[in-house]
Copies of this chain bind each other. A is one copy, B any other.
Amino acid sequence: MTTPKRRLPVMADVAREAGVSHQTVSRVLNDHPNVRPDTRARVEEAITRLGYRRNLVARALVTKRSRTLGVVSFDTTLYGPASTIYGIEQAARTAGYFVSIVSLKTIDTHSVRDAVDYLTEQGVDGVVVVAPQYSASSALESLPAGMPVVAAEGTTHRADVSVVCIDQVEGAKLATRHLLEQGHETVWHISGPPEWLESEGRLQGWRAALEEADRPVPEPLAGDWSPRSGYEAGKSLAAMDGVTAVFAANDQMALGVLRALGELGVPVPEQISVVGFDDIPESEFFSPPLTTVRQDFDVVGRHCIEVLLRQIDVGPTAFERLVVRPSFVVRSSTAPAR
């Protein structure tokens, strides 16, 4: 029989099998330099013969390091958070860390705190909070000290919480300036929900670009990221006079705008130019293909892990603030004003 006992083999079993002490097995497993090559070989052979797998839980107990990072996020179904988490997971695994995820349904000070507490009990070495909303960011302020934390897409005033984010203001400026350069008198804006930092940044960038160029600043239309809200806003805009350029705070709302304008027979980009934000994979195939601002979420994820691991390894370090620049993608939903 290949299964002498139902119990999984432990280090002592390997030690006995290889004729060494359990400590030597430990050294082999942890690549300690002072092990004779033939001893190492003998141990490794015993390990494969027994099918031994080390118990990382026991290891974590004594080292006080679980090699697990926690991620707290809101609605991981959305393209942005999903992509960021993907980047985080890849970078973490490359660095030899596991990732434990908590996705929140509602994001408020309490739930973020609870999530971090939950992860703390589990013994994570650090936490990334994908926190694009104000309430989440304010939750960061009240986090237990000592736990290394990085905020992705958030902001905070705490000196011991680092931040990695994409320059939303700059992205919105790119979008707005592009439209102005095409000869549009001004640009209308469909904003995201006010609770989101990204909404705020894009709103600011849009306003700043208009003011820089001394253009009138129309009242922004309030959206909620959903295509439906873009659709409603699109219908409102079509009913207004003199609208020739629209900057939607994300691609999904831009899609709604395209749909509304299409339904009403308003040609895009001939009569109205439309710009989005995110560059989701679908944008290139909207009708017409969407001009938009591209965010590299992968890079954000990787940076988060870098910053977090630095904090874990070298201890409480200085506040870091990493800003990733977005890029601009011109497609055919924008055209010069007539």
Q: Which residues of A contact B (CB under 8 A)?
A: 53-58, 60-61, 66, 68, 75-77, 79, 82-83, 85-86, 89-90, 93, 98-103, 105, 117-118, 120-123, 226-228, 230-231, 252, 255-256, 258-259, 262, 281-282, 284-287, 289
Cα–Cα distance between A66 and B255 once the two chains are bound (Å): 44
Among residues of B, the one whose C-beta sits closest to the C-beta of A260 is B285
List 19 A-B residue pairs with CB atoms under 8 Å apart, sorted by A's residue number. Answer: A53-B121, A54-B121, A56-B121, A56-B122, A57-B57, A57-B60, A57-B122, A57-B123, A58-B61, A76-B82, A77-B83, A77-B86, A89-B101, A93-B102, A99-B100, A99-B102, A227-B282, A227-B285, A230-B285
Contact of A68 among B53, B61, B100, B227 (CB under 8 A): B100
> A117–B53 contact, CB under 8 A?
yes
In angstroms, how far is the closest chain B Cβ from the Cβ of A130?
Answer: 13
Q: Provided the pairs A227-B285, A282-B255 are in contact, do residues A123 and B56 lie with their beta carbons within 8 angstroms?
A: yes
Of A90, A99, A103, A230, most B-chain CB atoms within 10 Å = A103
Q: Given A90-B103, A100-B101, A259-B285, 7 other A-B contacts at CB below 8 A?
A: A75-B86, A77-B79, A227-B285, A228-B285, A230-B285, A231-B285, A255-B282
Number of copies: 2
Whether B121 pairs with A255 at a CB distance below 8 angstroms is no
Kindly state the separation between the CA atoms of A153 and B293 in the bound complex, as whole angstroms: 34
Specify which of B61, B89, B256, B282 is in contact with A57 (CB 8 Å cutoff): B61
CB-CB < 8 A to A77: which residues of B? Answer: 79, 82-83, 86
CA distance A66 to B121 in the complex (A): 12
Chain B min CB distance to A99 (Å) = 6
Docked-complex contact A86 and B57, CB < 8 angstroms: no
Contact present for A123 and B55 (CB under 8 Å): yes
User: Taking each of A61, A66, A118, A282, which has the highest tally of chain B beta carbons within 10 Å of its own beta carbon?
Assistant: A282
Chain B minimum-CB-distance residue to A226: B281
Bound complex: CA A101 to CA B76 (Å): 13
Partner of A122, one of B79, B98, B258, B287: B98
Task: Take A56-B123, A77-B83, A83-B77 as given contacts and tell me if A258 and B287 are in contact as well, using a CB distance cutoff of 8 Å.
Answer: yes
A76 engages B68 (CB within 8 Å): no
- Residues of chain B lying within 8 A (CB to CB) of residue A89: 76, 101-103
Give Cα A66 to B285, complex, Å: 45
- Which one, B54, B231, B286, contacts A259 given CB within 8 A? B286
* Chain B residues with CB under 8 A of A259: 285-287, 289
